[in-house]
Amino acid sequence: MTNTFRPSSYTTFEYVSYSVSSDGTIFTGHYQLSGREPSVSFQEIIELPPSDRAVDTTALHRLLFLACGLSYYKAAAPPVIRVDTGLTEAERRFLTELIRHGLGEFAYRNQLPGALRPTIEAEDIVLATADSDWDLSRPPLVPVGGGKDSVVSLESLKAAGHVPVAFSVNQFDPIDACVRVSGLSQVRATRKVDRTLIELNKAGAYNGHVPVTAINSLVALISADRLGLGAVVMSNEGSADYGNLRWEDIEVNHQWSKSMEFELLLRGTLSAAGLAEDRYFSLLRPLSEISIAKRFAGLPQYFPVFTSCNRLFALDPDARRKSWCGTCPKCQFVFLILAPFIPADVLKSIFGSNLLDNLENLPAYEEILGLKGHKPFECVGDYDEAGAAFRIAAEQADWRETVIVKGLLDEVRTTPSAHEAEVSRLMGVSRVHAIPALFQEALDAIG
């Protein structure tokens, strides 16, 4: 491995091939960067749950191969992407959109507009549509992220009489603990990002966010098929649609692969491959963060174990924090959104301190509330949701004297979210979703 990696020396990123072990448990994607310096090869390895079922998951493997490649493409973001396996029309669209929107934050932060529009060279191919015995009425697979959202999905589905199977990509203590509290069965897949990439990052490769929910979603879809389960039920909220800022003709959105746009893109791509689009939907899409927080507040059994802070989920176990960091936008937002529904002493014991009573958090809350800068590059809710939570909390004895509430109340009062109508809209249910009729009852099963 060279000590210096010069991204501009690379002209092509190649999707070389993928392979699947004979028992279907090991998926390996092979990728390569080439150009004026010696080529660099990467292998991404994904271990899927064991199964005796003979299922044809080719269409899903192909999409997973495409999605995982972005982690390595981004190291140099060269102008040409070559896909040696060819692309169907729907796959070409999937890859094009995944790059243009899923790498928006990466391209903005590195000031690489060209990274969003590489030339994609691939033979046009047509694949025989998959023939499947898939059935929506089978138990759903629910990806669990260790935070409040997937807990609300699990409990809503249980309350409506479904028996979901919990699913995680890689092993993380907060995820396992949430599943334990739910009492449900759990299956796991593991993803190994090639160590070469980590070395290249240290040597000067471009780095930044990738649309990780797209990758996790495809791993979940393959796992569900192998296990003979029904739909993959995500916990992506309505406000994942709101971006961070506009740049180069696109809305840069850290959460794009949690958005409705991505959900529809993946459903359409499944359909084009002959697979039922109802295999994939988000149960929480019609809900605001406030309304999810209110539901979560009624599930105190999870308070000691859930963690939304992303710093617990680093790939390297040694780099993982053990609990809420309290300083990132995700911690700050989740504290605010739960404040109207959970008493201060309880919330303090969950987070370790009162984040609304710490002056150091003022600039961060100004960004979260839309009073300055732009929405942080983290999975935080939109300005209306943050403003509405702030406004409700400001009327409560527990929060009204905190430094953040006292410091920002006058400014927040001038924002649209400060109006009564906005708060009640956010507590309601929106109609924009793709939830099949069989699952709609679950949405209101816990209140």
Ligand X SMILES: CC(=O)N[C@H]1[C@@H](OP(=O)(O)OP(=O)(O)OC[C@H]2O[C@@H](n3ccc(=O)[nH]c3=O)[C@H](O)[C@@H]2O)O[C@H](CO)[C@@H](O)[C@@H]1O[C@H](C)C(=O)N[C@@H](C)C(=O)N[C@@H](CCC(=O)O)C(=O)O
Ligand Y SMILES: Nc1ncnc2c1ncn2[C@@H]1O[C@H](COP(=O)(O)OP(=O)(O)OP(=O)(O)O)[C@@H](O)[C@H]1O
Chain residues in the site for ligand X (CB under 6 A): 71, 193, 197-198, 201, 207-213, 215, 254-258, 310, 313-316, 379
The crossing angle, in degrees rounded to 10, of helices 403-413 and 383-394 is 120
Q: Distance (Å, rounded) from C-alpha 309 to C-alpha 249?
A: 31
Q: For residue 102, state whether it binds ligand Y (rule: CB under 6 A).
A: no
Element (H, E) at 262: helix 260-272
From 35, 118, 140, 143, residue interacting with ligand Y (rule: CB under 6 A) = 143
Q: For residue 101, state whether it binds ligand Y (rule: CB under 6 A).
A: no
- Going by C-beta distance under 8 Å and a sequence separation of 6 or more, which residues neighbour residue 318? none
Closer to ligand Y by CB, 150 or 156: give it: 150
Amino acid in the structure at residue 226: R
Instruction: Outline where DSSP puts E strands in 221-285.
Output: 232-234, 245-247, 250-252, 280-282
Closer to ligand Y by CB, 200 or 221: give it: 221
Q: For residue 59, state whether it binds ligand Y (rule: CB under 6 A).
A: no
CA distances from 99 to 107, 201, 210 (A): 10, 20, 9
- Taking CB atoms within 8 Å and a gap of at least 24, the contacts of 346-350 are 346/300, 346/303, 350/303, 350/304, 350/324
From 7, 35, 118, 146, residue interacting with ligand Y (rule: CB under 6 A) = 146
Q: For residue 254, state whether it binds ligand Y (rule: CB under 6 A).
A: no
From 29, 78, 118, 145, residue interacting with ligand Y (rule: CB under 6 A) = 145
Q: Which stretch binds ligand Y (CB under 6 A): 29-37, 231-239, 365-373, 407-415?
A: 231-239
Q: For residue 150, state whether it binds ligand Y (rule: CB under 6 A).
A: yes
From 12, 223, 236, 354, residue interacting with ligand Y (rule: CB under 6 A) = 236
The least CB distance from residue 258 to ligand X, in Å, is 5
Helices (H), 3-147: 58-73, 89-102, 104-110
How many CA atoms, within 13 angstroms, populate the side-chain half-sphere of residue 369?
28
Selection from ligand X, ligand Y, none that 193 binds (CB < 5 to 8 A by kind) is ligand X
Q: For residue 258, state whether it binds ligand Y (rule: CB under 6 A).
A: yes
Q: How many CB atoms lie within 10 A of CB 2?
A: 12
Q: Which stretch binds ligand Y (CB under 6 A): 145-153, 362-370, 394-402, 436-444?
A: 145-153
The least CB distance from residue 61 to ligand X, in Å, is 17
Q: For residue 379, state whether it binds ligand Y (rule: CB under 6 A).
A: yes
Closer to ligand X by CB, 76 or 379: give it: 379
Closer to ligand Y by CB, 98 or 334: give it: 334
Q: Distance (Å, rounded) from C-alpha 231 to C-alpha 216?
A: 14
Closer to ligand Y by CB, 57 or 153: give it: 153
Element (H, E) at 43: strand 40-47
The least CB distance from residue 363 to ligand X, in Å, is 21
Selection from ligand Y, ligand X, none that 234 binds (CB < 5 to 8 A by kind) is ligand Y
Q: How many CB atoms lie within 10 A of CB 315?
A: 11
Closer to ligand Y by CB, 88 or 255: give it: 255
CB of 32 closer than 8 Å to CB of 16: yes
Closer to ligand X by CB, 149 or 398: give it: 149
Closer to ligand X by CB, 140 or 174: give it: 174
CB of 221 closer than 8 Å to CB of 123: no
User: Which of 169, 265, 301 shows the shortest CA–CA distance to 223?
Assistant: 169
Q: Which stretch binds ligand Y (CB under 6 A): 45-53, 128-136, 230-238, 413-421?
A: 230-238
Q: For residue 34, state whether it binds ligand Y (rule: CB under 6 A).
A: no
Measured distance between the N- and C-terminal CA atoms of the chain, rounded to whole angstroms: 55
User: Which of 403, 60, 422 shows the shortest CA–CA distance to 224?
Assistant: 60
Q: For residue 213, state whether it binds ligand Y (rule: CB under 6 A).
A: yes
Selection from ligand Y, ligand X, none that 314 binds (CB < 5 to 8 A by kind) is ligand X
> For the chain, what percentages of helix, strand and coil (3-state, to nearest 5) are there?
45, 15, 40
Q: For residue 148, state whether it binds ligand Y (rule: CB under 6 A).
A: yes
Q: For residue 235, state whether it binds ligand Y (rule: CB under 6 A).
A: yes
Q: For residue 332, state whether it binds ligand Y (rule: CB under 6 A).
A: no
Closer to ligand Y by CB, 168 or 361: give it: 168
The least CB distance from residue 6 to ligand Y, in Å, is 33
- Going by C-beta distance under 8 Å and a sequence separation of 6 or more, which residues neighbour residue 242? 253, 375, 382
Selection from ligand X, ligand Y, none that 299 binds (CB < 5 to 8 A by kind) is none
**Which positions lie near ligand Y, rule CB under 6 A?**
143-150, 167-170, 213, 216, 234-236, 258, 308, 334, 379
